Structure 1
């Protein structure tokens, strides 16, 4: 196992306000996970942090997107930090933040080679801004990094697409709406909803993804984990709650297989909002599960 470098990206730039004047609390996630023993359990060699620019709830007139200039600047600096960690042959274990932090990760991967993306999320996040009520990049992240959307975001540093659309696996969505799902159904990405995942079985899905990484001779893959992929009963501390979701047994089975692969280049955790977990009970359970699976896979 490579030395672990935890990278903190405490950003909420990709989300709308919870209510007027109230920013989402996901920017506090790194400190919250440290408090609840994620860092102790992982025992990283180093911890790095890149604070995000100031949040604004104003939409860009040209694109209809929140915080677009700040997101671009932040993504470039994120990618530089991740690139440095990858060049040192360390494993970047990234703590967000909302799903927009994927932009920095994807840019770094594109600069390094040709990578796949396993997008584990309770939503597809494969949505055009025309369907977005909020203008938040968090709900468009998977689409943007595969080259869909305004070029201000899809072609940062002239690197579009950061991840080829056919190398994206979007897994775990349970927002069943044809207009929403058709965006990714009509793409070249592999789309596996929660319902399909259970029908096909988790192990078969993970093994199939890893086989594709090998058959395409990709340089590796990135794992994006939005905690809202978990069942709402065990992880209600998210911005867009939806009934059902993966149990911890299902989540651990899937992530363990991915954690064990030597093709895994790095991962990121997003969306858990400390403001919505006053006692820390849901965070404690999450930390216990993800670190147990990760450490077991790498021992």
Structure 2
């Protein structure tokens, strides 16, 4: 059974302008208004509530070196969300986390790492692989989540509760970056499988899903950042880049990956960039069609002894 969890966090994003707040915290309720919850509840899902984040603060002027923005609030939220996900997994549900920004991947990593581990399928328009080893500009975990998830970040982010790495690098897959992604060579060396948006669009979806499962294994977490979609169909994100997937291409891949996933998170939709709600309806359509069978064939890792 799918368990819907709202996680309206924007803590991992840079401010859109000095003193402003990113709009991704509005996404779960915008998706509810677009009919996403009603559609999945009618299909047998249940509403598993909300895990609220702490206050977003534009802390650039005072944040010391070696720390990401909103670090304390982000880590606290990751722990609380991970606890909610662990309870759902223990109860046999497949959590579907509706964010929020993609720093929520840290919570998913904590939840599965504490249960013996799982693979990771990271579907994103960017590799999100900035880390202290390749950049002097680390600050926003939403652009660093894949690196942090496999252990390549400061301890405060990548080794919460001593669980580094949250996902084994050899069981991690990334799909969806554009051809000019600066980190693609490094991420290709570091993780099990990397597929660009162009290559994913050109490959048979069943064959791509087969290759993903060969790397990620029989149990994995699905992280879907909606900026993997081309901005012609999904401009309501903080970093829209041309060359992304079309809706039907993304749905075709998700339909084949969702059954073997223990859970999923959907992130980075920004309702502030969607004044008439049309793009919320696009996201809702992708989720309902692509993730409707989430977890139906998954081998869920056992809980802690």
TM > 0.5:
yes
Matched, 1:282 2:285: no
The residue aligned with 2:38 is 40
1:221 matched to 2:220? The reply is yes
Deviations 1:158-186 (Å, cap 9, x if unpaired)? 11111011111010001514x43233123
Q: How many residues are treated as equivalent by the alignment?
A: 290
Cα gap change, 1:270 to 1:132, in 2 (>3 Å) = farther
What's the secondary structure of 2:280's corresponding residue?
A: helix
| Contact kept? 2:97, 2:266, Cα under 8 Å | yes
- Contact residue 7 and residue 99 of structure 2 kept, 8 A: yes
3-state SS of the aligned residue for 2:3?
strand
* Aligned residue among 2, 8, 11 for 2:9: 11
Q: Secondary structure at the match of 1:74?
A: helix
> In the alignment, is residue 57 of structure 1 matched against residue 55 of structure 2?
no
Contact 1:232 1:242 in 2 (8 A): yes
* Partners of 1:123 and 1:175 within 8 A in 2: no
Give the equivalent residue in structure 2 for 1:208. 211
Alpha-carbon distance between aligned partners in 2 of 1:188 and 1:55, rounded to the nearest angstrom: 32
- Provide the rounded CA distance (Å) in 2 between the counterparts of 1:53 and 1:138: 16
- How far did 1:114 drift? 2.2
Q: TM-score, normalised by structure 1?
A: 0.91
In the TM superposition, residue 200 of structure 1 has moved relative to its aligned partner by: 4.0
**RMSD across aligned C-alpha pairs, in angstroms?**
1.9
Partner Cα separation in structure 2 for residue 176 and residue 47 of structure 1: 39
Look up the SS of the partner of 2:58 in the other structure.
coil
Q: Per-residue deviation at 1:295? A: 3.2
Moved more, 153-162 or 55-64: 55-64
Displaced runs of 4 or more, over 4 A: none
Cα 1:183–1:212, aligned 2, differ >3 Å: closer, same or farther? closer
Residues 266, 132 of structure 1: alpha-carbon distance in 2 compared, 3 angstrom cutoff: farther
Report the counterpart of residue 302 of structure 2 in structure 1: none
Could you say what secondary structure the match of 1:191 adopts? strand
**1:252 corresponding residue in structure 2:** 251
Q: Pick closer, same or farther for the CA change 1:189–1:211 going to 2, 3 Å.
A: closer
Cα pair 1:127 1:183 within 8 Å, conserved: no
Unmatched segments (≥5 aa) in structure 1? none
User: How far, CA to CA, are the matches of 1:295 and 1:270 in structure 2?
Assistant: 17
Structure 2, unaligned runs of 5 or more: 297-305
Structure 1 contact 9–97 (Cα < 8 Å) conserved: yes
The CA distance in 1 between the partners of 2:138 and 2:16, in whole Å, is 11
1:241 equivalent in alignment to 2:244: no
Shift of 1:213: 4.0
Provide the TM-score with structure 2 as the length reference: 0.89
